Homo-oligomer: A and B are copies of this chain.
Amino acid sequence: MSVSEWTKNDVRNSLPDRAAESHKGTFGIALLVAGSEDMPGAAILSGLGAMRSGLGKLAIATDEAVVSHIVSTLPEATYVRNGRYLLSKNEMELSQYRSIAVGPGLPEDGETRAAVERLLKAEVPVVLDAGAIGGRSYEERNSPTILTPHPGEFARMTGKSIGEIENNRASLVSEWAQRLGVTIVLKGYNTLTSFADGSVYKNSTGNSSLAKGGSGDVLTGMILGMLCCNKSWKYAVLNAIYLHGACADYWVKKRSAHSLLAHEISELLPEVWADVETSQS
């Protein structure tokens, strides 16, 4: 089983254009289902990642109490209050969304599970992260499904030990992507992404400054945003991972790897993205 590296050249050649005559409708609305009482910040982090990543509009479905934490930091978003609950009761319309992400800051409970079931019925790309990564099948999906576990979450999902995973990252991610018919992003040092055909791509950006709470939430948001504007949804996934790591690489040029706050990844993105766009092959 071969692993290809997704290089800076690949990224530059596959980044989306943003046409002069476009408007926010050109890029569509992304739905983020994230944040709960004890982990409210995850909605901010993934929301920031998403709004920096090319979407047209962002709707955040979250618990009533979480909304008030987000508004001052991300006034550009709109809200579906108690969205997770509404989803779990099948009381939320989804037809207007172009891409969906669910999981950052959500508890792994029945309400989350029911909400995820509902979201998977939408015929658009769905990203599952954190509290939404769980044991289920994806047989009825016709649109891309993207799981973004770190090794601990991949262990729970597969029943393997973390050691086993660390020693067989490429073969296991490929095997499970094929078995479930989904895309799996196995995060960590040299993140591996496998598509449902078993192909595996390695990412070489990023560093240990990302080894801190919240950085995965930003990535989920970035994938969500890029799923709204791309030449191919696979590029959206691979490019989000690349740029997320590239922001961290930019950070450590002048700042200690011990001191990055995850929300700062999104603040570095505008320049880092432009650097890749304008770089020479």
Interface residues of A (CB under 8 A from B): 16, 18-27, 37-42, 44-45, 51-58, 67-81, 150-152, 188-189, 207-209, 211-215, 225, 229, 251-252, 254-263, 269-271, 273-274, 277
Contact = CB atoms under 8 A, between A and B. Distances in A.
Contact of A211 (B26, B38, B212, B255): B26
A79 to B, nearest CB: 5
Given A72-B73, A251-B270, 9 more contacts: A18-B208, A18-B209, A23-B211, A52-B258, A56-B213, A69-B75, A255-B270, A255-B271, A256-B270
A41 to B, nearest CB: 3
Copies in the complex: 4
B44 A75 contact: yes
18 contacts: A20-B208, A22-B189, A23-B188, A24-B211, A24-B212, A27-B211, A27-B212, A40-B71, A40-B79, A41-B74, A41-B77, A56-B211, A58-B213, A68-B69, A73-B75, A75-B214, A255-B270, A259-B270
A258 B42 contact: no
